[in-house]
Amino acid sequence: MADAHSPQLERLLAGYRRFREHGWTPNRERWADLREGQSPEIMVIACSDSRVDPAQIFDVDPGEVFVVRNVAAMVPPFETAPGHHGVSAALEFAVQVLKVKEIVVMGHGMCGGCKAALTQELHGTEPGEGGFIADWIALLDDAREHVAAQFGTQGREAEREMEKAGVKVSLHNLRTFPCIRRKEASGELRLRGAFFAISDGVLHVLDDSDGHFHPVD
């Protein structure tokens, strides 16, 4: 007798069965094409938060976007020090192999990583107890100083400013990659900032000309 599945796994398996019936089977031609390879033109860098799935928000089909998700949608700056550079590897693959034409960094409202960066609530914790997160969101330390000086470190207004600042930090760090700078300068690649507000479901796009996020109609 097979082992009983947990309720959590059962939910996933039920979703898989719905996908097989309503997603995969009616679109076999599309899946057959994807079997031969992928050619997405857009890369999306988003948060791992379960509430902000880029494929759902942008209503895209499989094969349309190359997605990287991590805590607070962060991009570390270009560096060649020893270590495991997961985001950098994904960027390299997207830009140099897949040759995407657009990279969208999408932050979101109620981001736990940005809130932790703002309050520094995990500062000094050990790896496995919050330390890994603290080290990661230290990428936002400089931005935090500016946000805290103007808005403080508590309250929704300060949190939202931190969330938007995080997008700008990642865009800045993207431009430290030589291949990205080169392709952006030549017009082969464009970088965009976006922000999804969980509270009202509205997407905002960063306007490079004024540095503000504006809602999409």
What mean pLDDT is predicted for residues 51-65? 96
Same domain, 128 and 24: no
How big is the CA angle at 203 (ends 38 and 122), to the nearest 5 degrees?
90
What CATH number is attached to the domain comprising 94?
A: 3.40.1050.10
Q: Are residues 90 and 123 in the same domain?
A: yes
Cα Rg for the chain, rounded, in angstroms? 19
Instruction: Say what the pLDDT of residue 1 is.
Output: 41
C-alpha dihedral sign at 60, 61, 64, 67: positive
Check whether residue 77 and residue 94 sit in a common domain: yes
pLDDT bracket for residue 4 (50, 70, 90): confident
Average pLDDT, integer, range 190-200:
97
Residues 17 and 61 in one domain: no
For residue 211 the two structure tokens come to: 């540095």
Are 150 and 136 members of one domain? yes
Model confidence over 118-169: pLDDT tens digits? Answer: 999 999 999 999 999 999 999 999 999 999 999 999 999 999 999 999 999 9
125 and 24 in a single domain? The answer is: no
Is the same domain home to 10 and 72?
A: no
Residues 66, 23 within the same domain: no
Q: What's the chain's average pLDDT? A: 96
Query: pLDDT for 37-47, tens place per residue?
Result: 999 999 999 99
Please report the beta strands in 85-189, taking only residues with DSSP state E, as ranges in sequence order.
Answer: 102-108
Which one, of 187, 191, 202, lies nearest residue 75 by Cα? 191
In percent, the amount of the chain with pLDDT more than 70 equals 99
Helix (H) or strand (E) holding 66: strand 65-70
Q: Over 80: is that where the pLDDT of 2 sits?
A: no
User: The pTM is what?
Assistant: 0.94
So what's the pLDDT on residue 204? 98
The reply to whether 153 and 53 lie within a common domain is: yes
| Domains held by the chain: number | 2
Same domain, 100 and 15: no
Do 31 and 115 sit in the same domain of this protein?
A: no
Helix (H) or strand (E) holding 204: strand 202-207
- By 3-state DSSP, what share of the chain in percent is helix, strand and coil, each rounded to 5? 50, 15, 35
Is residue 89 within 8 A of residue 75, CB to CB? The reply is no
User: What's residue 177's pLDDT?
Assistant: 98
**Are 135 and 124 in the same domain?**
yes
186 has pLDDT over 80:
yes
End-to-end C-alpha distance for the chain, whole angstroms: 55
- Containing structural domain, residue 6: 1-37
pLDDT value of residue 92: 98
